Chains A and B, each alone.
Chain A
Amino acid sequence: MTSMKHQRKTGLILLLLLPPLLFYILFFLVPFFTVVGVSVGIILPSEAQRARGEFFTLRYFQDALDPVFLRILGRSLAYALATTVGCILLGFPVAYFIAFRGGRYKNFLILLVILPLWVTFVLRAYAVLSLLGPEGVVNSILINLGVIQQPLFLIYNEFAVMLGMLYGYLPFMILPLYASLEKISKTVIEAAKTLGANSFTAFLRITLPLSKPGLIAGTLLTFIPAAGEFVIPSFLGGPSEVFVGTMIYSAFISARNWNWGSALSLVYIALVLVGITLYLKYSREELTI
């Protein structure tokens, strides 16, 4: 009796799991292994490879590990890291303020944080462009005020890319940070004060460690997409601001070299994966004081 009941229950769970499982297989596993296959030339071998009669080759990875690409990869990760750190520095005070001082305006303030996300990324990149361009808002104001004679070159450089990245990813840092700060009970912080901690120490020893889940989530949510970003650098960056995303994009679309593009993607994924794993391993470790 009970085992039949149990079996029926298991059956139901499997049934419920089927759609997401199918979705996952169809839209993640299949494409992923296709990319793996393409990257070693098992699928869609190039003309040259076919001419050499190779069924399987690591040649595309050799191409992918080219110093030029590695430099671009390194720069992407550095930008992503800077974006993440910048988002923490800018986002923490905002999240803190909303969580602890927001009062009844909390929901409204969070709405303001989310609002930019309702507009597509491309449009927002244009917004930065029109703000910082030679005839943009900033330059017009400065010229009209007589601060400068000639417009400043504020776009197509590192500064614009950095600004665009921060602008684009800030909400993804603020939201998880806010969620975990919001959960901290004020009495815990007050308890630290009655035990002899001043406000700063209480923040360092209590608030900050307790906001760690949000900090970790926010870091992942900004770092990973920021590393793969290609809209912002292509809109706001100069010719030297080529990101991994741009590179992979052009490998597939402009160079039409899918094998190479796939290999590039896999190198990038592997690197990010290693980084994230290390990060999670160390950030999860207990904060001992």
Chain B
Amino acid sequence: MAEVEIRNVKKIYEGGVEALRGVSLAIEKNEFFSLLGPSGCGKTTLLRIIAGLEQQDEGEVLIGGRNVDNVPPHKRGVGLVFQGTAIFPHMTVYDNISFGLRMRKYPRQEIRERVRNVLELMNMPFEKYAWKKSHQLSGGERQRVEIARSLVIEPKVLLLDEPLGPLDLKIRQKMQLELKRLQKKVGTTFIYVTHDQTEAFAMSDRIAVMEKGAVIQVGAPEEIYRRPLSRFVADFIGETNLIEGRVEEQNVFAADGLPLIRIAPEAADGLVGKHAYLAIRPERIYLSDSIDKENRFTGTVVDKTYMGPYAMLKVEIGNNLVLTVHVHEPEILQNLNLGDRVPVCWKASDSYLIER
């Protein structure tokens, strides 16, 4: 049985904005589940509905197998770390974190014990932090207090709405790892919202990609990266070259102005004779003409950008079709100039097809 189940949830805000257009998801117990999508796609709305802060217009939400549509937020046993800060500004760290425990009328001694433990979990020594006020904390510390505050009540599900959004890249990466470690340690179901695909990839067991109020693909990170089911996902998740054309045969793809392209037969199932996109990741294209790659072309270098660990080349292979190629070997790069003719190749099995 799924820990959280969302069945065909729809939400239209006053003013007619369709924030959710029939979302269905099943999130397993102890899963680190991410909702990934551009801003405005309805992620926050979905979290707020799960937390009970917003009422859906249609559909139902089940937590632990029980329909919670008539359960108010304070009785749902769901923690929510808000987008932006929601720390209680008039309280100390201790009072913030103990708030939920006091609402549940825990004995004093136990409250103290739990606050101490959860602060430790967040790598914040009790003596140093417990009596600080929110304005004495850095952005990262404040965020950790909010997470601790939601965790300490031991929710069945913890919802996190872009909790690392306001932080610097360095702290964010560190916190990503910490959160992941934390989730495994406490064994709570996490539903994590982000618009940053690297973040979702680094942390999640499974990801749901959302677009315009709908979930368009759910899967493990590798799965979503390797086999995006739509053009939107392919574009949104990392960088992808998309070539428009037609699936001629089970293993042949035809694009205007290009020689026929070999594709993996299993990728073309059900698509033969149809228009489609052929997708190939930039790091799967090589600047050589090795025999074991079925697709070999010659192209012209039209752009070259140094990215640090790799370089991004734009290579035109005919008919105004420009491919993005990632080159990781500095030796190759040194001898390349704009306008040079270069061999370009990729394996049929590294490409995949996306229906139009």
Q: Which residues in A have some Cβ–Cβ distance to B below 8 Å?
A: 185, 187-188, 190-198, 201, 205-206, 209-210, 212, 286-289
Name the residue among B72, B80, B84 with the largest chain A CB count within 10 angstroms.
B80
Pick the interface stretch among B86-94, B201-209, B247-255. Answer: B86-94
Contact A195 B82 (CB under 8 A): no
Given contacts A187-B82, A187-B84, contact A196 B103 (CB under 8 A): yes
Q: In the docked arrangement, what's the CA distance between A190 and B83, Å?
A: 12
The minimal Cβ–Cβ distance linking A214 to chain B, given in whole angstroms, is 13
User: CB distance B88 to A206 under 8 Å?
Assistant: yes
Q: Tell me the residues in window 90-108 of chain B with beta carbons closer than 8 Å to chain A beta carbons.
A: 90, 95, 99-100, 102-104
Q: With the chains together, A121 CA to B82 CA distance in Å?
A: 47
Question: Contacts A201-B103, A289-B102 known; A188 to B88 CB distance under 8 Å?
Answer: yes
| Total cross-chain contacts (CB, 8 A) | 66
The reply on B184 being an interface residue by CB < 8 A is no
Is A193 within 8 A of B53, CB to CB?
yes
Which chain B residues have a beta carbon within 8 Å of chain A's beta carbons? 51-53, 72-76, 78-80, 82, 84, 86-90, 95, 99-100, 102-104, 146, 149-150, 153
- Judge whether B53 and A190 touch: CB under 8 Å: yes
Nearest CB of chain A from residue B146's CB, rounded to whole Å: 8
Q: By the criterion CB–CB under 8 Å, are A191 and B86 in contact? A: yes
Is the pair A196, B74 in contact by a Cβ cutoff of 8 Å?
yes
Q: How far is the CA of A197 from the CA of B99 in the complex (A)?
A: 9
A195 to B82, CA, bound (A): 12
Chain A, interface SS category: helix
Closest to A206 in B: B88
- A198-B74, A206-B88, A209-B90 known; A190 and B100 CB under 8 Å? no
- Out of B87, B103, B149, B150, name the residue touching A197 (CB < 8 Å): B103
Can you report 15 residue pairs joining A to B where beta carbons are below 8 Å apart?
A187-B86, A188-B87, A188-B89, A191-B80, A191-B82, A191-B86, A191-B88, A192-B88, A193-B74, A194-B150, A196-B75, A196-B104, A197-B99, A197-B103, A289-B95
How many whole Å from B93's CB to the nearest CB in chain A?
A: 14
| Chain A residues closer than 8 Å to B99, beta-carbon distance | 192, 195, 197, 205
Give the distance to chain B from A87, nearest Cβ to Cβ, in Å.
23
Interchain CB contact under 8 A, A194 and B79 = yes
User: Do residues A198 and B53 form an inter-chain contact, with CB atoms below 8 A?
Assistant: no
A205, A209, A287, A288: residue with the most chain B Cβ atoms closer than 10 Å: A205
Contact B95–A190 (Cβ < 8 Å) = no
Closest beta carbon of chain A to B101's beta carbon, Å: 9
In the docked arrangement, what's the CA distance between A209 and B133, Å? Answer: 15
Inter-chain CA distance A95–B88, complex, in Å, is: 21
A206 to chain B: which residues have CB within 8 Å?
88
Chain B neighbourhood of A193, CB < 8 A: 53, 72-74
Q: Which residues of B contact A212 (CB under 8 A)?
A: 90
Most chain B CB inside 10 Å of its own CB: which residue of A196, A197, A288: A196
A-B complex: 4 closest residue pairs judged by Cβ atoms: A196-B103, A195-B100, A191-B86, A187-B86
Asked whether, in the complex, the Cβ of B88 is within 8 Å of the Cβ of A194, the reply is: no
Bound Cα distance A288, B102 (Å): 13
Q: Whole-angstrom distance from the CB of A287 to the nearest CB of chain B?
A: 7
Shortest CB-to-CB span from A213 to chain B, Å, is 10
